Amino acid sequence: MLCAPIQPTFRLERPTDLLSRLSPRRIIIPVVIGLSVVAGMFWYSYKPGDLAPLAQANWMWLFATFAVLAARDFGYIYRIRHLTHRALSWRQSLDVIMIWELASCVMPSAVGGTTVATFIIGKEGVPLGKSLAYVMVTAMLDNLYYVVLVPLVILFAGDGLYPHEAVAGGFITTLKLFFGVSYLLVLFYSGLMLYGLFVNPVAVRRLIVRAFSIKWLRKRRNWAYLQGQEMVLASEVLRGSGWGYWARAIGSTAFVWTARYLVINTLIAAFAPLTATGHSLVFARNLIYKVVLLVAVTPGGAGFAEGAFPTFFKKFIGTDTMVNFIVFLYRIATFYLYLVLGSYFLPRWVARVVGKGEEAPSE
């Protein structure tokens, strides 16, 4: 959820570079980590009869999981096509989203797939400045959804937002502090992006460069200048977009992130009855759960996502074994599925783009 600026983590020049950056070897690493953690959780928790609720599974909610996933992906495809002013076809938008998801699964959570997304959009014929602008806008909209949603969730959930039943008070205090600091950072970053994109991008670029002139940040000054320059370019690209453009962009962002959060709700409801209040609390705790995953250094948060899940959601499920089963389904639906889909789309995208003569380095 917390989208960082585009990070210069690696260099991409040709479409075939993605095949090495997102190679099977890199994909296997998060798979092995995630499955090992889940297997260990099952090993230590399993007791005969723990999986009895599977026999009473509510298939309506399982169908709802697939529906929510499909709606989420369609929302992402629609949004990127809309943001690019339909410069991308539906087929191109599908390729961009699937490979973007693959990159997000293979890279650490704090990095995500923004660099890859910019490169892919550029190779689809969108000029580099515009592709940077569109990716920056997605980050800004994602962060704004979080900024607006958090106060509403806190107002409704109150102290039930935190897993008091699972961890000691000292950890809850630390979690509250971490959550609060994260929110303030996102709020500041979102405000800076809004001001930079729509009011005075040159002033924001100057501010960023001055901030990175501090002695212990000076090594990153060139990167800071590039970040500021990208904001100036993005502002020029987006200037003049009407209210209809932004209304659809905001609406599709709210749609995809709400659908993304509801996956856990539908999976839990399939095996453990949830009241309306229970659904709301699960949705609310998902906000903190996703923030915690930002500290994960493993690709796609593998291992961290599985290990942290029981802390936030065991209260709504029951036995440890059922919790482990649901987290396994959750990772299949939101992680392993996109590793498979991305691995299918990536080589076909490379073949299509190279076949059009796009092997030359990007500008």
The tens digit of pLDDT for each residue in 337-350 reads 999 999 999 999 99
CB-CB neighbours of 151 under 10 Å: 10
Look over the chain and give the mean of its residue pLDDT values, rounded to a whole number: 85
Tokens of 38: 């889940």
- Whether the pLDDT of residue 78 is over 80: the answer is yes
Residue 171 banded pLDDT, cuts 50, 70, 90: confident
Q: Which residues are paired to 108 by β-bridges? A: 299
* Segment 99-106 mean pLDDT: 89
pLDDT for res 112? 56
Cβ–Cβ < 8 Å for 47, 241:
no
* Segment 214-235 mean pLDDT: 75
- As a whole number of angstroms, the distance between CA 268 and CA 313 comes to 9
pLDDT for res 116? 83
Least confident of 78-92, 195-209, 273-287, 320-334: 195-209
pLDDT for res 360? 41
The tens digit of pLDDT for each residue in 232-283 reads 877 887 877 888 999 999 999 999 999 999 999 999 999 998 999 999 999 9
Please report which residue ranges of 314-359 form alpha helices under DSSP H.
320-331, 337-355
- What is the crossing angle of helices 114-123 and 90-106, to 10°? 150
Angle at 332 between CA 308 and CA 295, to 5 degrees: 30
Q: 221 vs 193, which has greater pLDDT?
A: 193
Q: What are the counts of helices (DSSP H) followed by strands (DSSP E) for the chain?
A: 14, 0
What percentage of the chain carries pLDDT values higher than 70? Answer: 92
The tens digit of pLDDT for each residue in 2-41 reads 554 444 445 566 777 777 777 788 888 889 999 999 999 9
- As a whole number of angstroms, the distance between CA 179 and CA 351 comes to 43
pLDDT for res 4? 47
